[in-house]
Structure 1
Amino acid sequence: MRETQEETSTVQQRKVWDADAARRYDTPGTGMFTPEVLTPAVERLAELAGGGAALEFAVGTARVAIPLAARGVRVTGIELSPPMVEQLRTKADEASLPVVIGDMASTAAPGDYTLVYLVFNTISNLLTQAEQVECFRNAARHLGPGGRFVIELWVPELRKLPPGQSATVWQVGAEYIGLDTYDVLRQRVVSHHLDFDQAGQARVFRSPHRYIWPAELDLMAQLAGFELESRHADWTGAEFTEDSRSHVSVYRLPPT
């Protein structure tokens, strides 16, 4: 049964991150590509790499990997979607940014790493708890003693659900509407992104996720041999509180 679930998860994500999604993914200077979003993440990851090499799970089009490599960090990526890698290759070649095609829960990348990282909620693309645990174990396999695994992840917004309702709207604008629909029984959420053109026509993009509470994430880490080193609300080191909408969690293997 577990193998069937994992195959379904992989198939679903490949359907989501197709050639059309890859072409539309990069939005230079806007959204998650703005300097105020990207620069703190790159600076923090460069610091955590500590002079060693870094491995990015679900590297995508290398939004983070390319500027991190420009900081002098040797970066390798693992990516499930060939179209996303094709888009990446328009910006960086194999010599400067090696990429292995495969899923982040089981695929191995050659090399020795001091840092493995997952940004922008990507661990939730794994749609079962078993796969998410295996993702931690895969990170541990790529790290030596004292190595770090960093995860950026949103906090499920179940407190915002009205009684009897299953959806939360998290952004509304003239050109964009974002909302999430929750399945609390299976701990699933589907993000719906509606982009409107000048004629008022909408393009809809949907992505399925399995949401994870911070405490559950910590238990996954423990199962893989990690300890929680730090948790902040963002890449700048802001305090994580009960009202934080996301977190950056740094896990570390024992030094010996």
Structure 2
Amino acid sequence: MVELKTPEEIERMRVAGAFVAEILAEVGATAAVGVNLLELEMIVREKIRRRGAQSCYWDYAPSFGRGPFRNTICLSVNDAVLHGLPFDYTLRDGDVLSMDLALSIDGWVADAARTVIVGTPDAEDQRLVRATEEALDAAIAAATPGNRIGDISAAISAVAHAHGYPVNTEFGGHGLGRTMHEDPHVSNAGRAGRGFRLQPGLTLALEPWFARTTDRIVTDPDGWTIRSADGSRTAHSEHTVAVTADGARVLTVV
């Protein structure tokens, strides 16, 4: 069931969204050559604790994962792109790091992701990251009343195809609000004019993610970390967005 939010509820989600954006900015700035992923995890844990927020990932146990997730942020490196389980890994020059964070404050959730390149960037990695950011911008532009979910999906895939990247449709965007995952699902590929009609009060996590050369994925033995099937580099960008009468409002910004 799709739940539309009131302006007051959207404002409460914006509070959570600003905090998500603040944490991602700090983690992205801290991610440097020689920094361990577990150090980044501890930064997030401490910030959440001090704020009195709640991690949406801690004890998360969906059907596709292996047991409860026992970390507060997903950290995915290079060919890993989603649900990366933080582990004892020290970042190296040129690593591509995707950071995905969802948390709640006073019962309202926000979810966002960004990808950074550690140290010396490779031009093709930069192009991949930019493509996910451009796709996210296109998705946000399409999130206006009267449009449909398919318009968002088509906007994302159009950017991917313009850059020559394939699109996986197993994992995509979603509704959110009182919980991290609500209806509707938002695929990263679809047909314009199809699907649920967008209305003011709809809140969505829009999250294009691409791999350089494949649309197939594999899961690590940890039961969580999702990688490109051919080992090619990946990137992921996400914002929480509210559909309003005046258009899309991005909630995961400071």
TM-score (norm 1): 0.30
Q: Specify which structure has the bigger relative contact order, considering alpha-carbon pairs within 8 angstroms and separated by 6 or more residues.
A: 2
Return the structure number with greater strand share: 1
Q: Which structure: larger Rg?
A: 1
TM-score (norm 2): 0.31
